[in-house]
Amino acid sequence: MHPAEVLDPSPTAGPALRADLPKAARVYATLREAIIAMQLKPGARLVEKDLCDELGVSRTPLRDAILRLAQQRLVTVVPSDATFVNKIILDEVIEGQLVRESLELRMVALAAERFEPARRSAFELVLFREAEAARRGDNAESFALDNDFHRLLCACAGFPRVWDTIHLATGQLDRVRRNAFPLQNYHVEVLDEHRAIFEALCRRDAQTAVSLLRTHLGGTLNSLRILLAREPDFVAFDPASPAFALLRQSEQAGNPTLPHGAEGSPKRGARRRVAERRTAPGAR
């Protein structure tokens, strides 16, 4: 199948096809979503003319979009040839995870400290839509709403542009996150964790909110291990790298790798820990 033919035109493909976006931003969002969702797999060859025809744009916005993707190391541009989708780069997945944890844990603490009742409706709407997407098993919509929830955390903390910083640093990480959603029960487990974090925000319980979010974000490393087991050719890594050592360290700390073909969710252990925190004596 030609790469351009796998671009998803459905309404649940995220912000990619929003007509109100500038052309370059629309093309960037479309291609990024296709790469994140593995519609464009590692090694896929992107040909300018074909993509221009498929997306109905000129070469200028396409090249601008590809430049942004290259800056996030999602693609490699080979002069006088084509653009190729990169493998998932383990070092950059871990770097993105570290950036996300550092910033979001600070954001959720501030969000809890500053939470106002007027914020409830925005969170409740996202949670309602997440539940509907989970019921339908809609992976694309669930991933987009997962991002919306975390974007709201930053806005609630008073620093909405922090999410933009996270977005730019987590292109490789997002590929791992997005591909966890087809796993059994993952939609529901993400939703349960979001609800628990929201409840902590409503109580202005910063300590619990931080603890819950740390557990929630930690599930991504399990998703990465599952992806390594199932699609090892999609991931580029150096066993001698600090990133690989950190992944192994987290596994030894109690996040075991699921065997190839396992149907469990990468968040199974995390979900249990969330439930324990919600019911622990003294939990507010």
Q: What is the pLDDT of residue 16?
A: 40
- Over 90: is that where the pLDDT of 146 sits? yes
- Highest mean pLDDT: which range of 21-30, 127-136, 258-267, 271-280: 127-136
| Mean pLDDT (the chain, rounded) | 84
pLDDT of residue 162: 98
Q: Of 111, 103, 143, nearest to 126 (Cα)? A: 143
CB atoms within 10 A of CB 9: 9
Report how far apart, in Å, the C-alpha atoms of 91 and of each of 12, 245, 257 are: 30, 10, 18
Q: Say if residues 234 and 41 touch (Cβ distance below 8 Å).
A: yes
The domains of the chain are located at 3-86, 89-279
Distances (CA, A) of 67 to 24, 27, 77, 83, 270: 10, 11, 8, 10, 37
- Taking the model in full, what pTM does it have? 0.81
Lowest-pLDDT choice from 62-66, 142-146, 176-180: 176-180
Average pLDDT on 175-185 reads: 85
Q: Do domains 3-86 and 89-279 have the same CATH topology?
A: no
The full DSSP string for 160-173 is TTHHHHHHHH-HHH
d(CA 239, CA 241) in angstroms, rounded, equals 6
Q: Kindly report the CATH class assigned to 89-279.
A: mainly alpha
- Specify the pLDDT at position 110: 98
> CATH says 3-86 is which class?
mainly alpha
| Residues 97-143: tens digit of each pLDDT | 999 999 999 999 999 999 999 999 999 999 999 999 999 999 999 99
Instruction: Give the number of other Cβ atoms within 10 Å of residue 154's Cβ.
Output: 23
Among candidates 150, 135, 143, which has minimal Cα distance to 179?
143
User: Sign (positive/negative) of CA torsion 85, 36, 211, 107?
Assistant: positive
User: Can you give the pLDDT at residue 244?
Assistant: 84
